[in-house]
Amino acid sequence: MPTVIINKPVAGTLQPTAVRNPFYRFKYPKSVLDGGFGSFDGANYTNRCAKDGESYPATANEKLANLTLKETVYNVFVRASSFDEMVSAQNQGANFEGPHSGVHLAAACGQDLALLSIAAFEPLFWLHHVNVDRLIAFWQALHFENATMHFSYASDQLFATPTGTIVTPKYPILPFMGWGGSPLTSESVTHIRDWGYTYAPMRFWDQAPGETKMEVSRTVNSLYGPREQQQWQERYSFKGLRRRERMPQREYFAKVEVERSELELPCQVQLFLKGNLAGSFTLLDMPKKGMSYDTIPLRRGIEAVGISRLSTKSVLGTIEDGLGVVISKLDGTTMSLDHVPSLKIEVEDMDVVPPDSLNELPTLGAAQTRTVMGRPLAIGEYS
């Protein structure tokens, strides 16, 4: 909506007043449209789902619903064991960068929000990144013993960073400045408690780290955990009722890795199981090169084809025989898998023991991994 109604104080009383909706869209300055900051081929304002056959927010909601956001986010909370694994797809393991990038691509149907050179002008960017900040803060509360970052890499050329610069948590993130005129660093903005804000249910001022961990565990389980896990907890939560020992659940994951320089970025590596979309790995248009990794839960795809109650051997056989791969580009066309020799997919299965309480996260058993050959999915193959 271009305008929203707020309550504005007028002569000592609150009056409903229509104001411009700051999250509606951003109008690019004339100097940008005239090429004052380089070539610019966009419209005079940020666009969302403006292509033929699209509408906002209906098309965006449909695209977001096709992403396994809930399952993937929960998987990061449960599995990522270090800050570096959790925060970046440039490290192997479960990370928030994958689902973060998926929202960038889907929430505006592949328009301004999907292109990192202009994404920050799209008001949705700020709503999205506040939530990413919240997810990272939750992970830090759950893993408070290991909640600091440790990285070192040679940077590509950025705004104030020459090519080849070794970047660490102490490297200045110019042009952002802190108190006293010193540049901020990744290390200085790691913990939200140092910046005077929080997200429910975290109360740093009167909770010990262990208490915060329990509160965040309950929130994470309630918002992102499997539905049957929550239902079981509700059923057996009466006082004095001795809990039954929970049986491990067999879960399956696709571990994807690919060299970015082989792709036409941004793009999405989509995994299909017998024609049903099982999960996806979204890669934005920066960085241009380097390996990227993601771990994709396959629960939704397995349930869609009705094999969740079969033996582990049968499920793995179905995945191996029925896994299809599509690399979808921003314009809706696809890339040939022959042009992406680095693409590797491993299927991992492991026992996951549900927690005795929503105040805890599940316990992971030993994992077994095998490489599978994802074949190109022919259009209409399962229609």
pLDDT for position 179: 85
**296 and 338: one domain?**
yes
pLDDT for 239 equals 47
- The CATH number linked to 221 is 1.10.1280.10
Query: Is there a single domain that holds both residue 222 and residue 98?
Result: yes
What average pLDDT does range 229-255 have in this prediction?
69
Q: State pLDDT tens for residues 112-132.
A: 999 998 999 999 999 999 999
Instruction: Tell me the percentage of the chain whose pLDDT exceeds 70.
Output: 94
The 8-class DSSP code of residue 44 comes to: S
Quick one: 41 exposed, middle or buried, by C-beta within 10 A (0-12, 13-18, 19+)? exposed
**Run of H or E residues at 211:** helix 209-224
Taking 80 as the threshold, does the pLDDT of residue 241 lie above it?
no
Domain limits at 185? 70-235
- The 10s digit of each residue's pLDDT in 77-96 is 999 999 999 999 999 999 99
More confident: 39 or 352:
352
H or E, element range at 61: helix 58-66
Given a cut of 90, whether residue 53 has pLDDT beyond it is yes
The pair of structure tokens assigned to 355 is 């927690």
pLDDT of 242 higher than 60: no
Q: What DSSP state is assigned to residue 27?
A: B
Do residue 219 and residue 257 come from a single domain? no
Q: Indicate the number of domains in the chain.
A: 2
Q: Looking at 103-107, 115-119, 241-245, 367-371, which range is the least confident one?
A: 241-245
What CATH number does the domain containing 265 carry? 2.60.310
Peptide bond connecting 266 to the previous residue in cis, omega within 30 degrees of 0: yes
Residue 319 domain-assigned (yes or no): yes
- 150-201, pLDDT tens digit by residue? 888 888 777 778 888 999 999 998 889 998 899 999 999 999 999 999 999 9
